[in-house]
Amino acid sequence: MPVRYALNSFLYFPERELFETPRERGLEFEDLTIETDDGERLHGWWIPAHESQASVLLCHGNGGNIGDRVLNAALLTAQGLGVLLFDYRGYGRSTGRPDEQGTYRDAHSAREVLMDRAAGEPIVYIGESLGGAVALELALAHPPDGLVLQSAFTSVRDMAREHYAFIPGPLVPDAYPSLELIGGLDAPLLVIHGESDEIVPASHGKTLYEAAPEPKRLDLLARVGHNDLVPLAGSAYAEAVGSWVRQLKTSSM
C-alpha cells in the first residue's frame, strides 16, 4: 500500500482552489454534487449550450481541477455542445483520494448525471491526457456516440519510461492501459494531439489512433504542446471537435 501511494504521488496532482468558475466567463451553469457508488461526493458543473448539438462529458487530466477547464467549456459550448465538467475524488471540492479505480468510478457516476440532462441528444466523451484513459474505460462499458482522446497516453508504464526512468520497471503498475484496451472500442473516435507535446509525445496519440477500429480521425495540431493546446489552438481545437460531432450527426441520420 505505501508503494502504491508513493507512485500515486507521481501520477496525480490535484489542486483544491478553483482558478475560475463559468460565471467569470458569462456562462450559464448548474452547480452539481455527484454521489459515487462507494460514497464519495464529487463536484461538477453542467454548462448547457444554446441550440445544442450534443452533450459532452469532459474527463480532465491529472493536474489542477475543473476550474482550469472553463475555457474548454466556453469553446465547446460555442460549438453547440453542452458540457459536464466534474472533478475526480480528491480534486477541487470533491471528497476522497484519487486512484485508478476511483477515477473510473467517478466517470461512471458523472455519466449518469449527464444522461439526465442530455434529453436524448448524442453523447460524446472527451478525455484529456490521463482523462483519455478514464474516458476510454467508460466508453468500453457504456459506448457513447463519439469519443475524443485529447493529448492521451498509451499507458502509465509507457509514460514512466518517458519521464521516470529511475523507477524500476517492475514497480510501475500496469495502470490506465489504453493501448491494450482501445481495440475493443465500439464508437467513432477523434484523436487530437499537439505536435509539440512535451509531456505526452504525439507518438502516443498516433499509436492509439492506429490501434483503434474504424471509424476514426486523427488531428495533429501544429505548434502546440500539452498544457497549452487549448489556450493556443483555441478556435481550431473547438472547430475540430464541433465539425466532427456535426459529421457524426449527419452520418447517423
Cell of 221: 495540431
Residue 253: per-residue pLDDT: 46
CA distance 219 to 105: 29
Residue 168: per-residue pLDDT: 62
Domains of the chain: 2-252 (3.40.50.1820)
CA distance 142 to 76: 22
User: How many percent of the chain have pLDDT more than 90?
Assistant: 83
In one-letter notation, the amino acid at residue 142 is H
Whole-number average pLDDT of the chain: 93
Residue 162: per-residue pLDDT: 77
pTM here is 0.95
Q: What is the mean pLDDT of residues 137-160?
A: 96
Q: What is the pLDDT of residues 49-88, one digit of tens each?
A: 988 999 999 999 999 999 999 999 999 999 999 999 999 9
Q: Residue 241 above 90 pLDDT?
A: yes
Q: Residue 2 above 50 pLDDT?
A: no
Q: What is the mean pLDDT of residues 230-247?
A: 95
pLDDT tier, 164 (very low <50, low <70, confident <90, very high otherwise): low
pLDDT tier, 5 (very low <50, low <70, confident <90, very high otherwise): very low
User: How many percent of the chain have pLDDT more than 70?
Assistant: 93
**For the ranges 8-12, 119-123, 169-173, which has the lowest average pLDDT?**
169-173
Length of the chain measured in residues: 253
**For the ranges 30-39, 54-63, 171-180, 210-219, which has the lowest average pLDDT?**
171-180
Q: Which residue has the cell 453542452?
A: 82
Q: Which residue has the cell 489542486?
A: 15
CA distance 88 to 65: 8
On the question of a cis peptide bond just before residue 215, with omega within 30 degrees of 0, the verdict is yes
